[in-house]
Amino acid sequence: MRLLREKGVVTQDPPFPAPDPIQRVEEDFGRYLLQERGLSLATVVYYRSFTRQFLLGRFGTDRIRFTRLGALTSLTLFYAMPTTSVPDAPN
């Protein structure tokens, strides 16, 4: 690829922007759910959408401080999630 870039055949890909703090938490949480809890990818994607909503609602653009979260906050998130089932992943 370097040779092709030097010859001007291809351009260098723009660097990916660094993930914001909420994206990092979402990614870490998704990995945890997949690897440690053994959830399906469809379930992880579903839960991650609520993770972002929760963190934005709780912290906004402020720094994420998990020490400010307690059992009541976690229960609030749990009960705020819709009760619809997670769609099955395609076979």
pLDDT at 5 over 60: yes
Range of the domain at 37: 20-80
Tell me, yes or no, whether 37 lies in a domain.
yes
Residues in Cβ contact with 5 at an 8 Å cutoff, skipping those fewer than 6 apart: 11, 12
Cα(49)–Cα(80) distance, rounded to whole angstroms?
Answer: 13
Let me know if 76 is exposed, middle or buried by CB neighbors in 10 A (0-12, 13-18, 19+). middle
Tell me, yes or no, whether 13 lies in a domain.
no
Which amino acid would we find at residue 41?
Answer: L
Tell me, yes or no, whether 73 lies in a domain.
yes
Tell me, yes or no, whether 67 lies in a domain.
yes
Q: How many domains are there within the chain?
A: 1
pLDDT in tens, 8-58: 777 776 677 778 888 888 899 899 999 999 999 999 988 888 888 888 888
pLDDT in tens, 51-88: 888 888 888 888 888 888 776 666 666 666 655 555 55
pTM of the model: 0.60
Residue with structure tokens 């959830």? 39
Tell me, yes or no, whether 38 lies in a domain.
yes
pLDDT, position 60: 86
Tell me, yes or no, whether 70 lies in a domain.
yes
Tell me, yes or no, whether 69 lies in a domain.
yes
- What are 50's two structure tokens? 């609520």
Tell me, yes or no, whether 2 lies in a domain.
no
Cα(89)–Cα(46) distance, rounded to whole angstroms?
Answer: 11
pLDDT, position 35: 93
